[in-house]
Amino acid sequence: MPYKITHESSDGGIITTYSGVVTDEEFMACTKEKFHIGEKFLSNKEINSYRYSISDFSAVTDFKVSVDTVKNNASRSKAVMSVNDIGLMAVVAPNDLEFAMGRLWQAYASSQGDRIKIFKSREEADIWVCENKKDIITPNT
C-alpha cells in the first residue's frame, strides 16, 4: 500500500504518509478514505473533528498521478475547507514533480487564504502547523 493514514485524535490531525509508486487509483483511494467519502463526507461531525492534515510525499519514488486526479482531489479538499473554517492542510513535497503538482493542487483548492501550504520538508510543515493551529479554537461540541 503506497499510503498510510494516521489520525492524531488528541489534536485533530490527519497524517498521510505516501511511499513508493503512487498512481491515480491509489491517490484517489487515499482521498476517499481520508475524507470518509460517502454518507459521512462533509458531515459536520466528521469535518469539524479535523484540525489539520499533513500529506507527506517524502518517501515517494515515482509519482504517476495525473493532473485531472490532482484537480479532483483539490475539489474535494476545497469542499472540506469550505465546511471546516478552522482546518489547515500542509503538503510535504521535497521532489520537483510532487512540489509542482502540489502547487497545482493548492491553486485549485485554495480559496481559503493561508490555510493551505506546500513545503519541501516535513520539519517546515510541522512548524507551520504548530504555529498556526495555536490560533484554532476548538468549538463546543
Can you give the residue ranges of every domain in the chain? 3-133
Return the DSSP state at 121. Answer: S
Please report how many Cα atoms fall inside a 13 Å half-sphere around the Cα of residue 131, on the Cβ side.
10
Instruction: Dihedral sign for Cα 118, 17, 44, 28, please.
Output: positive
How high is the pLDDT of residue 110? 77
What's the pLDDT score for residue 34? Answer: 80
Of 84, 9, 22, 59, nearest to 31 by C-alpha is: 22
- Identify the pLDDT of residue 126: 94
pLDDT for position 141: 40
pLDDT of residue 32: 82
The counts of H helices and E strands in the chain are: 5, 5
pLDDT at 139: 46
Q: Are 56 and 92 in contact (CB under 8 A)?
A: yes
- Average pLDDT per block of 10 residues along the chain, 141 residues long: 82 91 93 68 60 93 95 86 82 95 90 83 95 60 40
The reported pLDDT for the residue numbered 140 is 41
Which pLDDT score, from 0 to 100, does residue 80 have?
79
Q: Which helix (H) or strand (E) holds 62?
A: strand 52-64
Please state the pTM of the whole predicted model: 0.84
Q: List alpha helices for 55-95, DSSP H.
A: 67-83
Q: Tell me 105's DSSP state.
A: H
- Tell the CATH superfamily of the 3-133 domain: STAS domain (3.30.750.24)
Quote the radius of gyration of the chain (alpha carbons, Å).
14
Q: In this structure, which amino acid lies at residue 46?
A: E
> Which pLDDT value is given to residue 117?
92
